[in-house]
């Protein structure tokens, strides 16, 4: 179902099933939402040179499941080419999930800001492991310890299917709290479209995430 910006997406609570795989049939049990990502505003001169305001939005199918130990996020989006190489002229497809470390209402969804840290899970096609990152504004991205963050991905010829997962209780600074409700933002980079760095599609606000209502 389409998810208007600001409305809540619900996760499935389940201690049974295989949610680590993006191809698992257990994902059929989780609510599915269509989240629209738009081209991010150009915040750096190098991005302004490549920014095309008429670039269409990109819909992403979002699902979430939570066990007693882990949160799983499944993303699926259309992409006719699986771009996995990065060079001076080629760029890999990528995706990221961003969480406010503090309260979402006091944290900018555009990579946070001074005193407004965000925790990012960054996946890039062709890499074995996702990156666990933190930021407090543009140009401040810092790599954190990998911890329990994992990713599994599959390109089926027309779509990327990705699951990012992390333990609910992750030790260390700047780790998003996943014990109760949360908020997230999404980002996509299309390698075939020469997207990289600040040239990307994003959610223009936080998406609240909460347990699926009972009954």
Residue-level pLDDT at 179: 84
Determine, yes or no, domain membership for 135: yes
The sign one gets for the Cα dihedral 188, 144, 42, 88 is negative
Which among 189, 215, 27, 193 is positioned nearest to 124, based on CA atoms? Answer: 189
Residue 21, CA atoms < 13 Å, CB-side half-sphere: 7
Residue-level pLDDT at 74: 98
Determine, yes or no, domain membership for 2: no
Which among 62, 67, 64 is positioned nearest to 13, based on CA atoms? Answer: 67
Range scoring the smallest mean pLDDT among 65-69, 89-93, 211-215:
211-215
Q: What is the mean pLDDT of residues 124-132?
A: 93
- Separation of alpha carbons 11 and 173, rounded Å: 25
Per-residue pLDDT reduced to its tens digit, 146-189: 999 999 999 999 999 999 999 999 988 899 989 888 999 999 99
pLDDT at 48 over 70: no
pLDDT at 98 over 90: yes
Give 176's contacts (C-beta < 8 A, 6+ positions apart).
99, 100, 101, 119, 182
Which DSSP state fits 186?
A: E
Determine, yes or no, domain membership for 1: no
Q: How far is CA 39 from CA 114, 149, 167, 182, 197, in A?
A: 24, 27, 31, 24, 12
Residue with tokens 């606000």: 205
Determine, yes or no, domain membership for 4: no
- Separation of alpha carbons 126 and 16, rounded Å: 30
Which among 105, 103, 54, 82 is positioned nearest to 158, based on CA atoms? Answer: 82
Q: How far is CA 184 from CA 24, 108, 174, in A?
A: 23, 11, 15
Q: Which domain holds residue 140?
A: 9-211
pLDDT at 59 over 70: yes
Domain count within the chain = 1
Residue-level pLDDT at 84: 82
pLDDT at 43 over 80: no
- The enclosing domain of 160 has a CATH number of 2.60.40.1190
| Average per-residue pLDDT for the chain | 90
Residue with tokens 């347990």: 211
Q: How far is CA 130 from the centre of its chain?
A: 11
């Amino acid at each position: 179902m389409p998810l208007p910006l600001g409305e809540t997406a619900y996760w499935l609570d389940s201690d049974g099933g295989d949610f680590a795989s993006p191809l698992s049939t257990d994902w059929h049990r989780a609510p599915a939402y269509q989240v629209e990502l738009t081209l991010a505003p150009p915040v750096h001169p190098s991005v302004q040179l490549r920014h095309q305001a008429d670039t269409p939005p990109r819909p992403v199918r979002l699902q979430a499941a939570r066990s007693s130990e882990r949160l799983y996020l499944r993303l699926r989006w259309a992409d006719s080419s699986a771009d996995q190489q990065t060079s001076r002229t080629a760029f890999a497809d990528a995706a990221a999930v961003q969480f406010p470390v503090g309260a979402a209402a006091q944290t900018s969804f555009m990579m946070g800001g001074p005193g407004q840290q965000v925790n990012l899970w960054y996946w890039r096609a062709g890499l074995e492991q996702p990156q666990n990152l933190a930021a407090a504004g543009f140009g401040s991205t810092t790599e954190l310890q990998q911890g329990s963050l994992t990713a599994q991905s599959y390109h089926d010829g027309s779509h990327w299917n990705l699951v990012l997962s992390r333990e609910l209780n992750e030790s260390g600074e700047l780790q998003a709290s996943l014990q109760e409700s949360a908020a997230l933002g999404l980002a996509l980079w299309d390698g075939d479209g020469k997207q990289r760095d600040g040239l990307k599609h994003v959610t223009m606000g936080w998406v609240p995430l909460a347990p699926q209502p009972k009954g």
